[in-house]
Amino acid sequence: MINVALKFLRDELNQYLQKRKPSSTHKVEFTYLTKNDGQGADFKLGMSLVNMEEERKVKDQSFYKESPAGQPIRVHPEVKINLYVLFTVKDEDQYEQALEYLSLIVQFFQANPYFNGQTHPTLDASIQKLIAELYTLSFEQQNNLWGSLSTRYLPSALYKIRLVAVQEVNELDIAPSLDASSINLGAN
């Protein structure tokens, strides 16, 4: 589900950039910021997952869902996660252009902070909603992030993408049906 959510955001952002800069060939792409040899990766507009966390405030504790046949089935409760996605612009020859692209990325999420199937029909039906929030790091946190990524700072914006639901689709078993004869209240 992580890949589906991030691919959707990437595609929506690329459509927005194409409308705002029709002559540009630059597109946002998934990227590592460094190669295995420690050298900087080759990209112009990068999108990287840098962290994720479980959203515990809205944790689903339901072990039962309804099957397509209308029968209750036992399932593992879904896990809702927040993704921390770093959008990085790397244009060493055109710093001003890099800042322009970074501004467009921020404008996109400012205009589109909330995604669901009604507002964005191309959103996969298995995703109920996505909420994008600009996530600001202190200078110390920013230094730690770029150090852990083993690269130098580049113009970037970090977004927290909230409420990506992940659930195993295998059914554990069919729930027993309850009727009056199967209920034992402890009375003899």
CA distance 85 to 93: 25
CA 58 → CA 5, 65, 83, 84, 164, distances in Å? 19, 17, 15, 18, 11
Q: Give the confidence band of 69 by pLDDT, cuts at 50, 70, 90.
A: confident
pLDDT score recorded for residue 14:
96
Model confidence pLDDT, tens digit, residues 31-63: 988 877 767 777 899 999 999 998 877 656 666
CA distance 77 to 56: 12
Single pTM value for the model:
0.80
pLDDT score recorded for residue 177:
53
